[in-house]
Chains A and B, each alone.
Chain A
Amino acid sequence: MKRSRKPAAVLPALLLTTALAGCAGGGGTGSNGTLTVFAAASLKSSFTEIAERFEAENPGITVTFSFAGSADLATQLSQGAPADVFASADAGTMAKVQEAGLVHGEPRDFATNTLAITVPPGNPAGIRSFADLGRPGTRLVACAPQVPCGAAAARVADSTGTVLSPVSEENSVTDVLGKVISGEADAGLVYVTDVRSAGTRVEGIPFPEASAAVNPYPAAVLAGSRNEAAAGRFLDLLAGPEGQEVLAADGFGPGPV
């Protein structure tokens, strides 16, 4: 009888400590000296580099990132995730966040991204142009029309009159890229920056028709930010020559600022 008491006391105590530890770990954002940036996954390498420069120019401020799909980040923000800056890979997602009243001031376009054809090394299917993607028997993988990269692909196909019949419509460019890297797909439609980041694992084929769907990247200071001044300076850095240089090196086009 005595023995059975022990877990009775220990278990709730254990639960309580775990719960409290969880609370303590949760709400650390927005405190002085931290800038939390929610950014589209494609911005990871550029933003990591830009953040290093930002921290050098703003001593005492640490930049922390959450990189994910723009739509996922927007959902998290609308559910109350604390952040100072949101950088989206498409205007539509930013517009949703703005409509929800989460944006402070106006979003600014700081970069653009353009579609590119990507093929496995050696280009086994002999893809040369955008029209080749519509050839029967070509295993094309693209994004689903519901996501920004798929919407862009559909716009280009419409403007050129090419009928695309992908063997798979993925949720994200990284999924498309994966299918090309593994050699399952003959060709994929991704962004120029994705081809750049995949290095030698894929080949990129730029095509002139891509100009029909240039994708702007907007960034904004968030209404819930407790560090608006620093957030504004981060946006300035993005749009300034230093930020633009880093973004251009990763394949982004200049933002129409």
Chain B
Amino acid sequence: MTGGHAGRQAYTGVPRWLYALAVLAALVVVLPLAAMVARVNWANFIPLVTSGPALAALGLSLRTAAASTALCIVLGVPLAVVLARGRFPLLGLLRAMVLLPLVLPPVVGGIALLYTFGRQGLLGGAIEVLGLQIAFSTTAVVLAQTFVALPFLVVSLEGALRTGGQRYEAVAATLGASPGTVFRRVTLPLVLPGLASGAVLSFARSLGEFGATLTFAGSLQGVTRTLPLEIYLQRETDPDAAVALSLVLVAVAIAVVALAYRRPGGKVRNQQASGERPTTAATPGGALT
């Protein structure tokens, strides 16, 4: 907003044809959803979405997605920190591998999980020795969801860590804070908004998980049949129920996305040199707290 650039602020250089194509792009997403909403049987909507199987599926979906999100946070935070701050060979390769579920068809994830945790899978023998059974259990649903949702948390958090820079961490370190203290007192609070939106996106992805669950976990009411699987099954006999439940999932997804992209307090950090390296070595053992 400096005086010299005032004219540039008012200029909105979007050519008109770009608007036309943008509307077309928006229609690609919005039109099918609108078409689905138009098909909702409103007279029976409440009974359809509150039937026993529907509520069982919704409850299972919410429980498993919450568990998967918790697992994503526990496992994803350390991974994102290592990817953003770590220095070791093959880091790029590790990142590529971790992001793979973003582009893999979920059914491929399901097959991979089957050959890992299944009865005859890589860890199948060890799991059976422990007296555990993963296939056809709710645990399998959570594993499938975590597999597909983890990259969302890692990507969001790694991005926040990189744009946040390391200036404050460097300062804390020069004041004598140990790496653990810096992580707890400086790094985590700084990236909390990024972590929150990553967690919300992971939750949303878990909620929508279908392919890996169907392949790996099976489909049984109250145990493994989450909302997307229930929709897939209802579609066979009762399209009205399938549409009504789809609408519920769309509503939840809209709420979740809105939550993730809400700008908390309009805070925009604008570091001049985010890539700045700590110039002073940390003094180990120094007490900041």
Chain A residues packing against B (C-beta within 8 Å): 4, 8, 11-12, 15, 69, 71, 75, 139, 141, 144, 146-147, 166-171, 175, 178-179, 182-184
Question: Which A residues touch B237, using CB under 8 A?
Answer: 71, 146-147
CB distance A167 to B120 under 8 Å? no
Q: If A146-B234, A167-B136, A168-B224 touch, does A182 touch B214 (CB 8 Å cutoff)?
A: no
Can you offer 7 A-B residue contacts whose CB atoms are under 8 A? A146-B238, A147-B237, A168-B136, A169-B221, A179-B218, A183-B118, A184-B114
Give A147 to B24 CA distance when docked, in angstroms: 38
CB distance A12 to B17 under 8 Å? yes
Q: If A4-B15, A141-B218, A182-B114 touch, does A171 touch B233 (CB 8 Å cutoff)?
A: yes
Q: If A71-B236, A139-B136, A175-B214 touch, does A183 touch B120 (CB 8 Å cutoff)?
A: yes
Residue B174, interface by CB 8 Å: no
Q: If A8-B15, A141-B218 touch, does A183 touch B233 (CB 8 Å cutoff)?
A: no
CB distance A146 to B236 under 8 Å? yes
Q: If A139-B136, A183-B119, A184-B114 touch, does A168 touch B234 (CB 8 Å cutoff)?
A: no
A61 to chain B, nearest CB (A): 33
Q: If A8-B17, A182-B114, A183-B120 touch, does A168 touch B233 (CB 8 Å cutoff)?
A: no
With A12-B17, A15-B24, A146-B238 known, 5 other A-B pairs at CB within 8 A are A146-B233, A147-B236, A168-B224, A169-B218, A183-B118
Binary per-residue interface labels of chain B (226-268) against chain A in the complex, 1 for a CB within 8 Å, 0 otherwise: 0000001111111100000000000000000000000000000
Within 8 A of A (CB), among B104-147: 114, 118-120, 135-136
CB distance A184 to B15 under 8 Å? no
Q: If A146-B233, A146-B237, A184-B114 touch, does A169 touch B120 (CB 8 Å cutoff)?
A: no
Give A147 to B233 CA distance when docked, in angstroms: 8
CB distance A184 to B21 under 8 Å? no
Give A179 to B220 CA distance when docked, in angstroms: 14
B5 to chain A, nearest CB (A): 21
Give A184 to B120 CA distance when docked, in angstroms: 8
Question: Which A residues touch B214, using CB under 8 A?
Answer: 171, 175
Residue B219, interface by CB 8 Å: yes
Nearest-CB residue, chain A, relative to B239: A75
Binary per-residue interface labels of chain B (181-216) against chain A in the complex, 1 for a CB within 8 Å, 0 otherwise: 000000000000000000000000000000000110
Task: Pick the residue among A4, A12, A146, A169 that contacts B220 (CB under 8 A).
Answer: A169
Nearest-CB residue, chain A, relative to B234: A146
Of the listed residues B21, B214, B220, the one surrounded by the most CB atoms of chain A closer than 10 A to its CB is B220
Give A183 to B119 CA distance when docked, in angstroms: 7
Of the listed residues A166, A168, A183, the one surrounded by the most CB atoms of chain B closer than 10 A to its CB is A168
CB distance A184 to B119 under 8 Å? yes
Question: Which A residues touch B238, using CB under 8 A?
Answer: 146
B86 to chain A, nearest CB (A): 37
Task: Pick the residue among A146, A170, A171, A184 that contacts B135 (CB under 8 A).
Answer: A184
CB distance A168 to B218 under 8 Å? yes
Question: Which B residues touch A71, using CB under 8 A?
Answer: 235-237
A41 to chain B, nearest CB (A): 14
Give A167 to B237 CA distance when docked, in angstroms: 22
B219 to chain A, nearest CB (A): 6
Question: Which A residues touch B220, using CB under 8 A?
Answer: 166-169
CB distance B236 to A171 under 8 Å? yes
Nearest-CB residue, chain A, relative to B133: A139
B211 to chain A, nearest CB (A): 12
CB distance B233 to A144 under 8 Å? yes
B244 to chain A, nearest CB (A): 16
Question: Which B residues touch A139, using CB under 8 A?
Answer: 136
CB distance B218 to A167 under 8 Å? yes
Give A141 to B136 CA distance when docked, in angstroms: 10
Which 7 A-B pairs rank lowest in CB-CB distance, beginning with the nearest?
A: A168-B218, A167-B136, A146-B237, A183-B120, A184-B135, A71-B236, A146-B236
A69 to chain B, nearest CB (A): 8
Nearest-CB residue, chain B, relative to A166: B220
Give A212 to B7 CA distance when docked, in angstroms: 83
Question: Which B residues touch A166, using CB under 8 A?
Answer: 220
Question: Which B residues touch A12, using CB under 8 A?
Answer: 17, 21
CB distance B21 to A11 under 8 Å? yes
Give A5 to B50 CA distance when docked, in angstroms: 55
Give A75 to B17 CA distance when docked, in angstroms: 38
Give A20 to B120 CA distance when docked, in angstroms: 50
Give A139 to B218 CA distance when docked, in angstroms: 12
Question: Which A residues touch B120, using CB under 8 A?
Answer: 182-183
